Structure 1
Amino acid sequence: MPDARFLVVFDADSTLIRNEVIELIADEAGRGAEVALATEAAMRGEVDFATSLRSRVEALAGVPVAAFARVLARVEPTPGVVPLIEAIHARGGVAAVVSGGFHEVLDTVAPSLGVDVWRANRLVAEDGALTGVVDGGIVDAEGKAAALRGWAAAYGVPLARTIAIGDGANDLRMMAAAGLGLAFNAKPAVRAQADLVIERVDLAEVIPLLP
């Protein structure tokens, strides 16, 4: 792949998009409120992300794969995301997404928004329904940081010319690894440790910060 001038890595849920996708899927099982409480605790950093994700995915067992069409219909891109990604490309940058969420949704959402590369977790399905298990290793805080470093190397971008944008505790390692870590729509712990805090829920606010 050709070298890029810079790299911007987004978290997905509550950053690239307004929703927490696992909650939308849990709604299909009638367990949305329960999963939302567990997600909030994980994003605040009160529980181990991987352990929390596995327990929350268990609540999705039995959801038909066909329900993803309804989930996708409810996904709302964050205001300003398309102008920001267009600006990244216009300036010779790469837009990437790494998510503790799921490829089953991101594989549709990411390309529709102009994202270049993305990585997320996968859900196991059998006989047309989710089993309640994550397929393979979990994309956690270290997985997000590793993705940023890997993409930077692949595109020939020094870490100093990388930007990471996130909202939850599992984004902190990625934000620390980046040249610039931006807290967006973020929990208090993330706001406290970020290089900069974006106050408005509008990703176009990031455009003036691009190299």
Structure 2
Amino acid sequence: MTDATEFAPGLMIRGITAPQKLADYKLIAFDMDSTLITIECIDEIADATGKKAEVAAITEATMRGEITDFKDSLRQRVAKLAGVTEADMARVLKERLQLSPGAASLVKAARAAGLKVLLVSGGFTYFAEHVRGLLNIDFVRANVLEVRDGVLTGGLIEQTWGDICDGAEKRRTLLEVASLIGISPAQCIAVGDGSNDIPMMQAAGLSVAYHAKPRVRNEAKVAINEGGLDRLLEVLQ
């Protein structure tokens, strides 16, 4: 992380003075996979068809920024999910989905400080809505997997805003929700780990990289490289 200073072990800051006040912000936006939760859902779903390694390799290259067209990357990966059943997805949700360390504490603190919470994901509503319930999240935007007769088709369902929530859509959603609740982008925090989170991080007043890829850490004002999400509370008190 260029021009960064170590605020505490495993916690880097750049371009800000700390500690700041959490209550100075009004919205916190989170990526889901490998940020609010510990897994990449699409990789775990692919495990049901024996294609986890193949799909995970595309996911990793996309998050590192080596594959720059997120929409095309996601379509490729979702196509490999054809034949996965709703029962397979339920198993992933029950057996593999876990909140990241400190996620509940950070969201609870943010809500107590008066912030609204947004989950904006290139993943899927099937999991995002579950996480919404776990954390009492205010707004969710994610992709919808097409299901016919209890089986994934390998396609996505178009929504009113489009069919794929990529980096540009994440940024647009952050700005849309900010406008909806009457705040400026400077009053937003954006937390993510992959290249498709960079556009919303650049739009927000405070950008936070969580156990992120190098390119993402280099864009962030705060980089949590060790420990849980609640380490942000060391910077925002």
Q: 2:51 aligns with which of 27, 31, 40?
A: 31
Gap regions ≥5 residues in structure 1: none
Q: Which residue is 1:45 aligned to?
A: 65
Matched, 1:54 2:80: no
> 2:154 is matched with which residue: 132, 136, 139?
132
Inter-CA distance 199–5: structure 2 relative to 1 (3 Å threshold):
closer
**Structure 1: distance between partners of 2:88 and 2:225:** 34
Equivalents in 2 of 1:50, 1:17: separation in Å? 22
- Amino acid in the other structure paired with 1:23: D
How many angstroms apart in 2 are the aligned matches of 1:77 and 1:100? 17
1:76-91 correspondence to structure 2 within 5 Å: 76-91=98-113
1:16-165 mapped onto 2 (5 Å cutoff): 16-47=36-67, 48-73=69-94, 74-136=96-158, 137-165=163-191
Q: Distance in 1 between matches of 2:222 and 2:131?
A: 27
Mapped contact 2:167–2:199 kept (Cα < 8 A): yes
Report the Cα offset of residue 20 of structure 1: 0.2
Deviations 1:26-71 (CA, angstroms, capped at 9, x unpaired): 0111111111101000001111111000000001000011222101
What code does the residue aligned with 2:39 have? Answer: N
CA contact (8 A) 2:188 2:205 kept: yes
Identical pairs, percent: 46
* Structure-1 residue corresponding to 2:8: none
- Structure 2 residue matching 1:50: 3-state secondary structure: helix
CA-atom RMSD, angstroms?
1.4
Query: How far is 1:210 from its partner?
Result: 3.9
Tell me the secondary structure at the aligned position of residue 120 of structure 2. strand
The number of aligned residues is 208
Partner of residue 17, structure 2? none
Match of 2:15 in 1: none
- Offset at 1:138? 0.5
* Partners of 1:177 and 1:62 in 2: CA distance: 38
The answer to whether residue 39 in structure 2 is matched with residue 13 in structure 1 is no
- Displacement after TM superposition at 1:102 (Å): 0.1
How far apart in 2 are the matches of 1:177 and 1:201?
25
Larger Rg: 2
Q: Which one-letter code corresponds to 1:115 in the other structure?
A: I
The SS at the match of 2:98 is coil
Counterpart Cα distance in 2 of 1:120 and 1:201:
26
User: Offset of 1:209 from its aligned partner?
Assistant: 3.7
Cα distance in structure 1, aligned partners of 2:164 and 2:90: 24
Flag structure 2 segments of 5+ consecutive residues without an equivalent.
1-23
Cα deviation, residue 193, structure 1? 1.4
Q: Distance in 1 between matches of 2:182 and 2:143?
A: 25
Q: Measure the CA separation in 1 of the matches of 2:234 and 2:117.
A: 16
Normalised TM-score (structure 2): 0.85
Partners of 1:5 and 1:175 lie apart in 2 by 14
Conserved? CA contact 1:5–1:157, under 8 Å:
no
Q: Specify which of 202, 207, 210 is matched with residue 228 of structure 2.
A: 202
Compared CA separation, residues 5 and 173, structure 1 to 2 (3 A): closer
